[in-house]
């Protein structure tokens, strides 16, 4: 059986922690920033855990 190729887009967007959890970045940070509070904008810079319903699909894209 041939090897699976890792999705390069997923590799750039997701990070795996030492315990195997998947981290992602939040969207909505690119434009219309004047209407958002500083607290809200700071929250977009943090990495958040991937939702449990998406973990299987992301792991498949990463070849895990």
pLDDT for position 3:
83
Which tens digit of pLDDT belongs to each residue from 14-57?
999 999 899 999 888 889 999 999 999 999 999 999 999 999 99
Residue 4 has pLDDT above 90, yes or no: no
Residue 1 has pLDDT above 80, yes or no: no
Choose among 20, 4, 23: nearest CA to 62.
4
pLDDT for position 19:
92
Q: Alpha-carbon distance 35 to 33, whole Å?
A: 5
Judge contact between 14 and 62, C-beta under 8 A.
yes
What structural domains does the chain harbor? Answer: 8-62 (4.10.410.60)
Beta bridge partners of 49: 23
Residue 2 has pLDDT above 80, yes or no: yes
Q: Alpha-carbon distance 43 to 48, whole Å?
A: 9
């Amino acid at each position: 059986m041939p090897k699976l190729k890792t999705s390069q887009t997923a590799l750039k967007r997701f990070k795996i922690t030492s315990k195997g959890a998947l981290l992602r970045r939040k969207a909505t940070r690119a434009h219309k920033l004047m209407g958002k509070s500083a607290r809200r904008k700071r929250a977009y810079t943090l990495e958040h855990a991937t939702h449990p319903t998406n973990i299987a699909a992301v792991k498949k894209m990463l070849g895990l």
